[in-house]
Amino acid sequence: MTVPQPASLLAVDSLSVTYRSERATVQAVDALSFALQAGETLGIVGESGSGKTQTALALMGLLPATAAVSGHARFGGHDLLALSEHELNTLRGQALSMIFQDPMTALNPHLTIGRQMARVLERHQQLSRRAALTQAAQMLDRVRVPEARARLQQYPHEMSGGMRQRIMIATALLCRPQLLIADEPTTALDVTVQAQILLLMRELQQELGTAILLITHDMGVVAANCDRVLVMRSGGQQETGPVDAVFANPQDGYTRELLAAVPRLDAEQPRRLAVVGRTAGGVASVPDYQPADQVVLQVSDLQVRFAAGRTGWFGPRRWLRAVDGVSFSLRSGETLGVVGESGCGKSTLARAVLQLLTGYRGQVLLLGENLGDLARAEMTARRRDLQVIFQDPLASLNPRMTVGDIVAEPLQTFQPQLSRTQRLTRVQALLEKVGLQPEHVNRYPHEFSGGQCQRIGIARALISGPQLIICDEPVSALDVSVQAQVINLLMDLQQEMGLSLIFIAHDLAVVRHISHRVLVMYLGRVAEIAPRDALYKAPRHPYTRALISAVPIPDPQLERVRTRTLLAGDVPSPLNPPSGCAFRTRCPLADARCAAERPVLRTVGESEVACHHADALALA
C-alpha cells in the first residue's frame, strides 16, 4: 500500500534544498522522496528546522534565490522543480495552491477580500470581474463565512484570525486545485477555531477531491486529519506510512520518542514525559506531589481594564476589561493551570499578580499580605518570593548581558551583601541544577538554543528562592521534545523546592500534565475552577467541555470515533462583551436567562462553575 502507484498525483524524488553561504553549507532538505495520491491527505510532521516548510516552498517554487534545489517533483506531467517562473505561474493557484501559517501576513492588507479573490479567477479562468466576484462569494459561502457578499468589500484587518484563514482557504480552492499545500494552517489559531478549520478542510476535501499536503508540528492534528504521515528530522525522512500503523506501532526510534514526548489529554495518569534522544524506553511515572495546606496566594475579585480610546471626539471613554473579576487561591507546592484562548486575559492576570501593572482593582494577597498596599521599597523586597518565566525564551533574556549577569541580577537586589565570587558560586550551582554547564556563565543568550534559554530564564527565576513562580506560556514557543524537558524540569524543581506555580498555557494537554488544579478563563472571567481530574473527566462548563473536545489527540483510531462539540464563531471582542454570560454567543445551551443575568461562580460537585446550566450539564 505504501508503494507509490504509477498514477500518483505528486511524486517527489530525492528533493534536496541546500543553502550555501561563505561560512557554512546548510542542507535544509536532504534527498526526500514521497508520493501523494489524488484526494489523499499526507501529513508531514517534524520539529522546527526539520525542513518541512522548505519542502513545501520548494514544491511551490517559492524558495529564495540563495537556495539550490535538486531532484524531481512530478505533478500532472510537469516537473515542478524544472519549470520556468512563467510556467509555474499558470499552475500555481490553478492546479496547485498553498495556505500559510499566518493568515494576516498572507493577505494583502491594502486590497479588499473580493479584489484579492477575484484576481485569481481573472488570471486563471479569464472571468470578468463580475463573474469572478460571484464565484468568490459562492466559495466564501462554502467555507462558511457568514454574509459572504458583504465580506467581499472588507479588508483583512476587519476580520478575526479564524475568518482570515477561511478566506485564505477559499482563495486557495477557487480554481479547484488538485493539490493543496497547507503549511501549519492552524498553528496561529485557538484550539476551538483550529477544530473548526480542520473540520472544514476535511469536508471540502471530500466535496472537491483535493489532495492535501498538511505540514504541522502537532501529532494530534496529523492523527485527526491525515491518511498517511511522513516524519521528518534534519531534512530527511525518518519514517512514513499510514497514520494508523505509524501511531500504533512506530518503527523508527525518533518517531517513538516524539510520540512519547507529547503530553496526552487521554493518558490514564500523567507520567514523566520521555525526552527525545535521552531516555530510550524507560519512562518513569511521576510521583504525584501533594501540595501543603498553607495558602501562598489569594486573589480576590481582580479587575484590570485598559483605556481604549473614546467613541467619537467627546464620547465616553471606552474600556477594555482584560480581567473582569477573577478570584482564586493557591496553596504551597501547588500548581494552578490557567487556560483559555488568546485574548482571554491570562497574561494580564499574570502581570497584575506580579505587580507589573498598576491600577488594577481587587486584592492580591501573597502570604497574607496585600501587595497593592505595599510601598515601592517594600514591594521590591517582596518580589523575592514572586518570580516569573516568560513565553519567548530569547526575548526574555537581555541580549547584551552574559548568562551569569542575567541569572545573578535578582541577587544584586535581594542580597546586595554577597561578594562577586559568592554570587558566581550561587549562579553556577543553579545553572547546574537546571541542566546547564556552570562554565557557561560568560556566554551570551544568542549562543544557546531555545530550550537552553528557557532554562536560563528558569535559573533567574529560582535564584532568589521564591515561593511562587508564574509561568506565562513557558513552553509554547518550544518544540515537543524540548517542551518535555522543560516540563520535567519544572516538575522536578517544584518537588525539590516546594514551589507554587501558576502555569499559564493554551495547550490543555500540557496543563493537565503539570497542574493540580485548573482555572479556565473566558473573556476575562473565570468559567470554571476545578481539581485537574474533575475538570478533565467531568467538565461542568460548556466552554471547558468544548475546549477539551477541540484538542486533537495523537491517536488516529480514537480521533475517528470521537464526537466533537464544535463552537460556532470566534471569541467576541473584549471591548464589547456580550451581556449576561460572556460565553452565551457561542454556547449551545444559551437561553434568555444567560443574556439577562451574569452567572456567578458556584460549587457543583468538586468544581466551581460560572454557568446557569451547570447542574443540567452535570446530569447529562
User: Which amino acid belongs to residue 603?
Assistant: T
The least CB distance from residue 273 to another protein, in Å, is 21
Residues facing 67 on adjacent strands: 19
Angle at 256 between CA 254 and CA 259, to 5 degrees: 110
Q: 469 forms bridges with which residues in the sheet? A: 387, 501
Of 458 and 617, the one with the shorter C-beta distance to another protein is 458
CB proximity list for 172: less than 8 A, separation 6 or greater? 93, 97, 98, 99, 180
Residues 345-374 that bind another protein (CB under 8 A): 351, 354, 356
Question: Do 301 and 290 touch, CB atoms closer than 8 A?
Answer: no
Stretch 381-420 residues interacting with another protein (CB under 8 A): 381, 383-384, 386-388, 390-392, 394-403, 409-410, 412-414
Residue 424 makes contact with another protein by CB under 8 A:
yes
Give the strand pairing for 468-472 and 386-389: parallel
Pick 71 or 438: Cβ nearer another protein: 438
CA atoms within 13 A on the CB side of 55: 38
The CB density around residue 127, as the number of other CB atoms within 10 Å, is 17
- Contact window for another protein (CB under 8 A) among 30-38, 320-328, 335-343, 437-445: 437-445
Cell of 500: 507554587
- Binding to another protein (CB under 8 A) within 452-471 occurs at 453, 457, 460, 464
Give the interface segment with another protein, choosing from 196-204, 268-276, 278-286, 432-440 (CB under 8 A).
432-440
Dihedral angle computed from the Cα positions of residues 180, 184, 187 and 192, in that order, rounded to the nearest 10 degrees: 30
- Pick between residue 381 and residue 575 the one whose CB is nearest to another protein: 381
Closest CB to another protein among residues 404, 552: 404
Question: Which positions from 30 through 49 interact with another protein, judged by CB under 8 A?
Answer: 48
The residue among 70 and 449 lying less far from another protein, judged by its C-beta, is 449
Candidates 225-233, 274-282, 424-432, 586-594: pick the segment binding another protein (CB under 8 A).
424-432
Give min distance, CB of 424 to another protein, in A: 7
- Shortest separation between residue 436's beta carbon and another protein, angstroms: 12
Q: Are 71 and 12 in contact (CB under 8 A)?
A: yes
Q: What three-state secondary structure class fits 443? A: coil
Pick 283 or 381: Cβ nearer another protein: 381
Chain length of the chain: 620
Q: Say which amino acid occupies 528.
A: E
Question: Closer to another protein at the Cβ: 155 or 444?
Answer: 444
Please give the residues from 531 up to 560 whose contact with another protein meets the rule CB under 8 A.
Answer: none
Q: Does 447 bind another protein (CB under 8 A)?
A: yes
Helix axes 450-462, 403-414, angle to 10 degrees: 20
When binding is defined by CB under 8 A, the residue of 242, 253, 450, 578 that contacts another protein is 450
105 binds another protein (CB under 8 A): no
Classify residue 307 as exposed, middle or buried by CB count within 10 Å of its CB (0-12, 13-18, 19+): exposed
- Smallest gap, in angstroms, from Cβ of residue 161 to another protein? 21
Spatial separation of the C-alpha atoms in residues 339 and 541, rounded to whole Å:
13
Interface contacts to another protein, rule CB under 8 A: 48, 351, 354, 356, 380-381, 383-384, 386-388, 390-392, 394-403, 409-410, 412-414, 424-425, 428-429, 432, 438-450, 453, 457, 460, 464
